[in-house]
C-alpha cells in the first residue's frame, strides 16, 4: 500500500509518466483515510497532493490549454499509464478494515462516502488555486483535478466490484483497463463475459472512450476556474456530485447482477 506523508509532502513534483502514476496512486490511497471521516487534516493533504500534481504538470511544459489535442492526448496516456498502479483492496482487506459493515451495501456506503470526501477536497483545492491571478496556470489546475478525480473514482469502482462479488478474471493490469471502461461509460459494465477484458486491454477504442470522458468532465469542471472563493465552492460541489452519481450508477448495476459465487461475502470474512 502506498503511504502518505505529512502536510509538507516532500519529494519531486510529478512531470514524467512514472511520477504522475506515483502521485495519482498517493491521491487514491488517501481515500482510505477519508472513509473514517478523519478530521486530522487528511482532506487538506488530498488537496495538497492534487496541487503538487498540477505544479509538476505545469513545470513539465505540457500543452494543457483548452482545445489542445496534444494536451488531451497526454492526459489520456497519463491516466492509462497510472490505472494499473492505483492501490486496490480485495474484499477480505476491506472487511477487515471495516468490521462494522455487515452487508455489501453497508460496506459500499463507507467506500462511497470516503471517495466523495476525497473528490470534494480535490475539487475545492483546484478551485482555490484558480482564484489566484495566474490565468495561464488555470488549464494545468484543471488537468490535475481531472486526473486526481479519475484516480479516486477508479479505486472506488474497482473496490465496488469486489464488494459485490464481481471481480473479473485476468491480471490486475487487465482489470485496471476494464475499470477504466466503467469509469468512462459511468455505469457498471458486465466484465465477466468471455473476452471482455482482452478487448479492453489498452485498445484504441478504450483510449477514445477515456479521452471523451476527460473532455466531458473538463467541460463540467470549467466553472471551477471562477474567481475568488466561488471557484472552490463550485469545484467542491461539481466533484462531489460527479463521484456520487458515478457510485450510484455503478452500485445499481452491480446490485442487480448475480455474483458468480453466492458465498463470496462470507468467504472473505476471515472467520
Residue 65 belongs to some domain of the structure: yes
User: CA–CA separation, 127 vs 111, rounded Å?
Assistant: 25
User: CA–CA separation, 234 vs 239, rounded Å?
Assistant: 8
**Is residue 240 scored above 80 in pLDDT?**
yes
Residue 2 burial (CB count, 10 A): 16
Residue 2 belongs to some domain of the structure: no
Quote the domain boundaries for residue 90.
17-257
Provide DSSP, 42-104: HHHHHHHHHHHHHHHHHHTT---STT-HHHHHHHHHHHHHHGGGS----HHHHHHH-TT--SH
Pick the range with the lowest mean pLDDT from 33-42, 195-204, 230-239. 33-42
Q: How many domains does the chain have?
A: 1
Three-class SS state of 119 = helix
Residue 60 belongs to some domain of the structure: yes
pTM assigned to the model: 0.86
Percent of the chain, pLDDT > 70?
Answer: 73
Residue 269 belongs to some domain of the structure: no
Residue 111 belongs to some domain of the structure: yes
Q: What is the pLDDT of residues 92-129, one digit of tens each?
A: 999 999 999 999 999 999 999 999 999 988 887 665 55
Residue 190 belongs to some domain of the structure: yes
Any idea of the CA torsion for 26, 209, 223, 46, to the nearest 10 degrees?
A: -10
Amino acid at each position: 500500500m502506498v503511504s502518505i506523508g505529512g502536510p509538507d509532502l516532500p519529494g519531486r513534483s510529478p512531470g514524467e509518466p512514472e511520477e504522475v502514476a506515483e502521485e495519482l496512486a498517493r491521491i487514491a490511497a488517501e481515500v482510505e483515510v477519508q472513509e473514517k471521516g478523519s478530521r486530522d487534516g487528511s482532506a487538506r493533504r488530498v488537496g495538497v497532493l492534487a496541487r503538487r500534481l498540477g505544479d509538476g504538470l505545469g513545470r513539465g511544459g505540457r500543452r494543457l490549454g483548452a482545445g489542445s489535442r496534444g494536451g488531451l492526448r497526454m492526459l489520456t496516456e497519463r491516466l492509462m499509464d497510472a490505472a494499473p498502479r492505483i492501490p486496490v483492496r480485495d474484499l477480505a482487506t476491506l472487511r477487515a478494515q471495516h468490521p462494522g459493515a455487515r452487508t455489501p451495501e453497508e460496506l459500499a456506503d463507507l467506500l462511497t462516502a470516503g471517495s466523495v470526501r476525497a473528490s470534494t477536497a480535490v475539487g475545492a483545492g483546484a478551485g482555490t488555486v484558480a482564484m489566484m491571478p495566474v490565468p495561464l496556470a488555470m488549464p494545468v489546475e484543471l488537468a490535475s483535478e481531472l486526473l486526481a478525480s479519475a484516480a479516486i473514482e477508479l479505486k472506488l469502482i474497482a473496490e465496488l466490484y469486489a464488494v459485490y462479488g464481481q471481480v473479473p478474471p485476468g491480471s490486475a493490469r487487465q482489470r485496471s483497463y476494464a475499470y477504466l471502461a466503467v469509469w468512462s461509460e459511468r455505469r457498471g459494465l458486465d466484465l465477466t463475459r468471455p473476452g471482455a477484458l482482452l478487448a479492453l486491454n489498452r485498445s484504441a477504442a478504450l483510449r477514445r472512450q477515456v479521452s471523451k470522458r476527460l473532455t466531458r468532465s473538463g467541460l463540467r469542471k470549467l466553472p471551477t476556474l471562477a474567481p475568488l472563493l466561488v471557484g472552490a465552492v463550485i469545484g467542491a460541489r461539481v466533484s462531489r456530485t460527479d463521484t456520487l452519481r458515478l457510485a450510484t450508477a455503478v452500485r445499481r448495476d452491480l446490485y442487480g447482477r448475480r455474483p458468480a459465487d453466492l458465498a463470496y461475502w462470507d468467504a472473505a470474512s476471515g472467520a
